Amino acid sequence: MFVMYKNFALILIAIFFSLNASEASSVLMKDDVQDEIVTLQTEDMYKVEAEIQDFKALKDEENSLKKVLKDVYNLEIEKYDKPSYLFEEPFTHRFKESSPMDYTHFWAAYNGDAGINFSQDGKITNHYEFNAINVGYDGFFKNNNADFRMMLRFVPESSRNFTQELFGDMYVATNKIPHHRFQAGYYRPQVGQEGGVSAYVIPFLNRSQISRNMGVARKLGARVVGNYPLVGYDVGVYSSDTYLKEFFPGGEFTSWVTLKPLGKTDGKYGDLKIAGGVQAGHRSNNYCVTGAYVGYDYKRFHADFEWAHANGYNGLSGHYTDKHAGGFYATLGYMITKKLQVLARYDQFDPDKNVTNDKNREYTLGLNYFIKGQALRFIVNYIFCQKDGAKDSHRILIGTQILF
- The 10s digit of each residue's pLDDT in 135-170 is 999 999 999 899 999 999 998 777 788 888 899 999
Which pLDDT value is given to residue 282?
Answer: 96
pLDDT at 147: 98
**Average pLDDT of span 255-273:** 97
Q: Which pLDDT score is estimated for 24?
A: 45
- Predicted local distance difference test score (pLDDT) of residue 11: 47
Q: Is the pLDDT of residue 32 over 80?
A: no
Percentage of the chain beyond pLDDT 70 is 84
Residue 58: the pLDDT is 60
Collect all residues with Cβ–Cβ distance below 8 Å to 225 and sequence separation of at least 6.
180, 181, 182, 183, 232, 233, 234
What is the average pLDDT value for the chain, to the nearest integer?
A: 87
| pLDDT for the residue 161 | 84
> Residues near 397 by Cβ (< 8 Å), separated by ≥ 6?
113, 114, 115, 205, 206, 379, 380, 381, 382, 383
| Closest by CA position to 194, among listed 286, 34, 276, 306 | 306
For residue 26, name the pLDDT band (cuts at 50, 70, 90). Answer: very low
Average pLDDT of span 182-210: 95
**Banded model confidence at residue 34, pLDDT cuts 50, 70, 90:** low
- Residue 54 scores a pLDDT above 90: no
User: Considering only 71-80, 210-219, 257-266, which range has the smallest mean pLDDT?
Assistant: 71-80
CA distance 359 to 355: 9
In the prediction, which pLDDT does 91 show?
96
What pLDDT is stored for residue 10 in this prediction?
A: 44
The pLDDT assigned to 134 comes to: 96
Q: What is the pLDDT of residue 41?
A: 57
Dist. CA 349–CA 313, nearest whole Å: 14
State residue 60's pLDDT score: 63
Q: How far apart are the first and last CA of the chain?
A: 108
Read off the pLDDT band of 50 (50, 70, 90).
Answer: low
